[in-house]
């Protein structure tokens, strides 16, 4: 999909937040948005997976939570996010994928954006919905390339050759937390701690709801259209 020429300048884009249950397609879509708008894709899950590989004490604690499907503590998460947002490449906009994931994280972020060094007058929050019946298939079928990060799915987005990345021929890997027992915990954490954010952002007038259940390219087209429309509109009264 090469529509980069008609994409709006990143200077016009407020921060974009992707909300949705694990398996809704946030990571796949975030990568496409990042490419189109030439802005960084910040995935807290990716950051923590990298930390979990380190031998540090914090890395071990992070992995202990991740492998059980638990969320990492808000303090640690917000610290990681503030360090990332502080970098120069976030000046022209960015996509947050998997953050915020709890009400305290959302409140912290809005406060940070209203008063911190990365002031933003508004945010675009995309809520990608998908039925629970699809989720196990999506999560169990998910594979990713350890070299380029591209995400595949054995059921919905298979690579041309089974188990091998189309772009660089690396053998694809499965996330350790895409395992039935851990998936159950992750979905339960989502329902209890993340789902309330939908009402939080709806109440601020900044939520765009979009079905993530359709073909990946179709969802991408809808996302581009929704974001570009939202970027042109004046911020809703009282919205961040
Ligand atoms: P994800 O790749 O977004 O599914 O995240 C993988 C795991 O990283 C989650 O199951 C959590 O353990 C952890 N994680 C990622 N983002 C957050 C967050 N914003 N708050 C707490 N834990 C997170
Ligand atoms: Zn690859």
66 CA: nearest ligand 1 atom:
12
Which numbered ligand comes closest to the C-alpha of 165? Answer: 2
11 is catalytic: no
Domain count, the chain: 1
Residue 129 has φ and ψ, to the nearest 5°, of -100, 150
Query: What is the share, in percent, of the chain residues with pLDDT greater than 90?
Result: 75
Can you give the residue range of the structural domain that contains 46? 16-232
The rounded distance, in Å, linking the Cα atoms of 189 and 75 is 17
Whether 117 has a pLDDT exceeding 80, the answer reads no
122 is catalytic: no
pLDDT on residue 163: 96
Q: What is the DSSP string of 90-131?
A: GTT--EEES---SHHHHHHHHHHHHHSTT--S--EEEEEE--
Query: What is the share, in percent, of the chain residues with pLDDT greater than 70?
Result: 90
- CA–centroid distance, 191 to ligand 1, in Å, is 14
The crossing angle, in degrees rounded to 10, of helices 44-53 and 74-85 is 110
> Given pLDDT bands bounded at 50, 70 and 90, which one contains residue 238?
low
- CA–centroid distance, 72 to ligand 1, in Å, is 7
Q: Whose alpha carbon is nearest atom 1 of ligand 1?
A: 45
- The pTM assigned to this predicted structure is 0.90
143 is catalytic: no
181 in a structural domain = yes
pLDDT on residue 235: 63
86 in a structural domain = yes
Read off the pLDDT of residues 135-145 as tens digits, 9 standing for 90 and up. Answer: 888 999 999 99
Q: How far is CA 172 from CA 146, 162, 166, 169, in A?
A: 7, 9, 10, 9
User: What residues flank ligand 1, with Cβ below 6 Å?
Assistant: 22, 44-45, 48, 65-66, 69-72, 77, 98-99, 101, 105, 177, 186
The C-alpha angle 151, 157, 161, rounded to 5 degrees, equals 90
7 in a structural domain = no
Read off the pLDDT of residues 46-104 as tens digits, 9 standing for 90 and up. Answer: 999 999 988 899 999 999 999 999 999 999 999 999 999 999 999 889 999 999 999 99
pLDDT on residue 3: 47
20 in a structural domain = yes
pLDDT on residue 2: 47
6 in a structural domain = no
22 CA: nearest ligand 1 atom:
4
Q: How far is CA 10 from CA 91, 178, 206, 223, in A?
A: 9, 33, 19, 15
101 is catalytic: yes
Read off the pLDDT of residues 171-201 as tens digits, 9 standing for 90 and up. Answer: 999 999 999 999 999 999 999 999 999 999 9
Whether 118 has a pLDDT exceeding 90, the answer reads no
96 in a structural domain = yes
Q: 104-141 in b/e burial notation, b at 16+ Cβ within 10 A?
A: ebbebbbebbeeeeeebebbbbbbbebeeebbeebbbb
38 is catalytic: no
239 in a structural domain = no
Instruction: Check which CATH number belongs to the domain holding 204 and give it.
Output: 3.40.50.300
124 in a structural domain = yes
DSSP character at residue 157: B
Whether 34 has a pLDDT exceeding 80, the answer reads yes
Q: Whose alpha carbon is nearest atom 14 of ligand 1?
A: 45
> What is the Cα gyration radius of the chain?
17
- CA–centroid distance, 169 to ligand 2, in Å, is 6
pLDDT on residue 237: 58
The catalytically annotated residue of 31, 36, 186, 204 is 186
């Amino acid at each position: 999909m090469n529509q980069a020429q008609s994409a709006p300048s990143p200077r016009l884009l407020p921060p974009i937040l992707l909300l949705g249950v694990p398996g809704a397609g946030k990571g796949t879509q975030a990568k496409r948005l990042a490419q189109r708008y030439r802005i960084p894709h910040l995935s807290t899950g990716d950051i923590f997976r990298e930390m979990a590989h380190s031998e540090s004490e914090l890395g071990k604690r992070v992995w202990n939570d991740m492998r059980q499907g638990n969320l990492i503590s808000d303090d640690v998460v917000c610290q990681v996010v503030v360090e990332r947002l502080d970098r120069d490449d976030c000046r022209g906009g960015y996509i947050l994928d998997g953050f915020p994931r709890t009400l305290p994280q959302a409140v912290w972020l809005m406060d940070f954006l209203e008063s911190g060094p990365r002031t933003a007058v508004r945010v675009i929050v995309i809520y990608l919905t998908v039925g629970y019946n699809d989720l196990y298939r999506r999560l169990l079928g998910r594979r990713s390339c350890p070299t380029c990060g591209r995400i595949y799915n054995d059921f919905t987005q298979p690579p041309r050759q089974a188990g091998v990345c189309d772009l660089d021929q690396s053998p694809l890997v499965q996330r350790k937390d895409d395992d039935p027992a851990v998936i159950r915990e992750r979905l339960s954490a989502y329902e209890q701690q993340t789902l309330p954010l939908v009402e939080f952002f709806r109440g601020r007038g900044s939520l765009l709801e979009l079905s993530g259940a359709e073909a990946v390219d179709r969802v991408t087209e809808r996302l581009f259209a929704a974001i570009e429309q939202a970027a042109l509109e004046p911020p809703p009264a009282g919205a961040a």
